[in-house]
Amino acid sequence: IAISLFGFSVEDSFAYPVFAQQGYSNPRAANGKLACANCHLNQKAIEIEAPQGVLPNSVFEIEIKVPYDVNRQQISADGKPADLNVGGILILPKGFKLASKKQISPEVKAKNKGVFISPYSTEFDNILVVGPIAGKTHQELIFPVVAPDPDKDADVKY
């Protein structure tokens, strides 16, 4: 699992995941650099909680904690100080993908209220993108993920 989290934005840059999605068919370059690094210079220590093992076709959560000083601010589009935004790219092994709305528990839906997580593209549905969202209220990002089913896809091995 590869993770990139960004927490600062640069004024006058097109620093939203949709711009990375439009400009890069694959968010990871051959050298391992993620598309986010082209606009965001921040590297932040994060904590990841994920299960050690999952059953086929089961839904589980990957929780990413983004601890930072909530008193720090960024410059907003109108030039005034504003709270920081957070976001990130979660790269999962092939076959793993975002759980459908029907598969997500009401508890996780409540935790993720106001958070829109989407696949990077139809080609890379194992790469999930979130943000930018308000960092003050979202220092924990929860990704509901569904494991692949080897009975339905012979290419899946785990």
Please tell me the predicted confidence (pLDDT) of residue 51. 95
Please tell me the predicted confidence (pLDDT) of residue 40. 66
Q: What is the CA radius of gyration of the chain?
A: 16
Please tell me the predicted confidence (pLDDT) of residue 146. 97
**pLDDT-flagged residues of the chain (< 50):** 6-14
138: tokens are 């979202």
Q: Please, are residues 39 and 89 in contact by the beta-carbon 8 Å criterion?
A: no
Please tell me the predicted confidence (pLDDT) of residue 55. 94
Identify residue 19 by its one-letter amino acid code.
F
Query: What's the per-residue H, E or C state across 111-146?
Result: HCCCCCEEECCCCCCCEEEEEEEECCCCCEEEEEEE
Read off the pLDDT of residues 7-37 as tens digits, 9 standing for 90 and up.
Answer: 443 344 445 666 777 788 888 888 887 777 7
State if pTM tops 0.85. Answer: no
